[in-house]
Structure 1
Amino acid sequence: MLPPNPVFEAFDKRNVAYGTFIQNNSPENCEIAAGAGLDFVIIDMEHGTFGIESAANMIRAAESCGTAPFVRIPEASRATVLKVLDAGAVGIIVPNVESAEQLREVIASTRYAPNGTRGACPCVRSTGHGIVDWQTSTAWAEKNIMVVALVETKAGVDNFAEIVAVEGLNVVGVGQFDLSMSLGYAGDHKHPEVVRKQAEMNQLALANGVDVLGVIFESEAAPIRAGVERLRGQGARFIALTGDRFVLADTYRSVAAAVNLR
């Protein structure tokens, strides 16, 4: 029997799910995040330096610890979606969504016919290599696979109302760094206009019955608590807390400073 998506369980238990980004090619980092108690990991194929073979091992590591493996895909192609879902991801993070039509095509690629266009094979990893019967596998996928859209450009902002109205979208989030670049703020993801746009978009998403992704880049406890409070106040309940590269960089900067290397 396939287990339910841990994110849905977290929603039911405390109305919020917490996770983190894993950008290094490291199943061990996935295990560490899972062992710490996080509900999900986002295996980042967009900005990480690895492909599907490594991603499959990272999915396996998270899954073995009872944590939901999501994959941020590098681009929104049907072939890429097929690969990560067949490898066992329980959800995809779709970068740079700019139109409802684009999102509909992606969502269709996550669902089997007659509801979508996902390629069907009964002996992939997500079916236990064929040990789980096909009817059970397809029913599980229909109920548990999640689609998270990232809106990161002015075009996406302009089309946001249509994007959040697409059937089958579970969660939407604002890519603050990319959006700040697109709006001319040079990476200032805390610029008042970026923050205002994010809050406005979050409310529109919730009004359409779509959950909201919140991302916190800091690795220290105080700004994490403040960020969670702000995001929860905006209705976010799928929240990514920092990432393995942020944690390592912050920690090693502190180590170097402790011995006056910087």
Structure 2
Amino acid sequence: MTRLGCWIDLPSPFVAEIVAQTGFDWALVDLEHGPIGVETMALSLMAIRGAGVRGYVRVPELSEAWIKRALDAGGDGVMIPNVQSVEQAEAAARWFHYAPSGARGEAQSVIRAAQWGRAAADYARNWPGDHQLILQIEGPEGLSRAADIAAVPGVGMLFLGPADYAAQAGLRKDAPEVGEAARQLAGIARDAGLACGSVEFPAGDVGTLAAMGFTDVSVASDVGALTTALDTALSRGREAADVQK
């Protein structure tokens, strides 16, 4: 069964709570493109997890500090944008995992993810559990190395960035080559025993992606849902008002 998610770009824990209460399987707090700070990220994760939904964070860049902050705040997973090499994947895995397999900072006694130290021993002992390191493949260069990237120990999911893939490849977003890239990535992830995710795109709606083997698909965003609802309401209201003239 494909897990359905929602992108969160608005800096509001209240919006995050509304998204999570809708019933998505996961919600992602986007620090790459959304104007969201660390404190709002943490509060949004509290709202998402409080509704019983998995909360992921896309960090702005591959950075030890950002990965640490997202995990310490209680993220169920961290997404790294535009991974193009094995070296980048290895760095992400190193900063995601505790020693001996990684080098994540030891601060279980003070972080929210470990219940402010009350669950420090269990948190470290059980890591990573069901937490996921998610690597975004957003261009032909990354796709050409995706099999090697998927083989890096500690990686949990490959995630297609179809819009950026199209841009980097010099393609239209609705080009069939983007759909073929999705099919190729799904096969690589499947062969490596990894989860595979994407947002919907013109050649890849959720049904098509699920048939390819994608385990996770983002089918909505907070910004998209809000603007669509407001545009629809205003259009309907104006049409009704014009009828009464």
What TM-score do you get using the length of structure 1 for normalisation? 0.86
Instruction: Decide whether the 8 Å contact of 2:161 with 2:198 is kept in 1.
Output: no
Q: Which has the greater radius of gyration?
A: 2
Query: Separation in 1 of the partners of 2:36 and 2:23?
Result: 25
1:174 CA displacement: 1.3
Query: Separation in 1 of the partners of 2:114 and 2:192?
Result: 33
Instruction: Decide whether the 8 Å contact of 1:124 with 1:130 is kept in 2.
Output: yes
Deviations 1:158-187, CA, capped at 9 Å, x for gaps? 2122112212211112101111110112xx
Query: Separation in 1 of the partners of 2:25 and 2:189?
Result: 22
Given candidates 104, 110, 131, the residue that maps to 1:123 is 110
Q: Which runs of 5+ in 2 are unaligned?
A: none
2:78 alignment partner in structure 1: 92
Q: Which runs of 5+ in 1 are unaligned?
A: 1-14
1:35 alignment partner in structure 2: 21
Does 2:43 correspond to 1:57?
yes
Q: 1:104 is aligned with what amino acid?
A: E
Does 2:10 correspond to 1:24?
yes
1:217 CA displacement: 5.8
Sequence identity, in percent?
Answer: 27
Given candidates 225, 233, 237, the residue that maps to 1:247 is 225
Does 2:184 correspond to 1:200?
yes
**1:1-262 to 2 correspondences below 5 Å:** 15-121=1-107, 122-132=109-119, 134-185=120-171, 188-216=172-200, 227-258=205-236, 259=238
3-state secondary structure, aligned to 1:239? strand
What TM-score do you get using the length of structure 2 for normalisation? 0.91
Query: Separation in 2 of the partners of 1:215 and 1:160?
Result: 18
Instruction: Decide whether the 8 Å contact of 1:107 with 1:169 is kept in 2.
Output: yes
Deviations 1:71-95, CA, capped at 9 Å, x for gaps? 0110010111001111110101110
1:18 CA displacement: 1.6
Structure 1 moving runs of 4+ over 4 Å? none
CA RMSD of aligned residues (A): 1.9
Q: 1:190 is aligned with what amino acid?
A: D
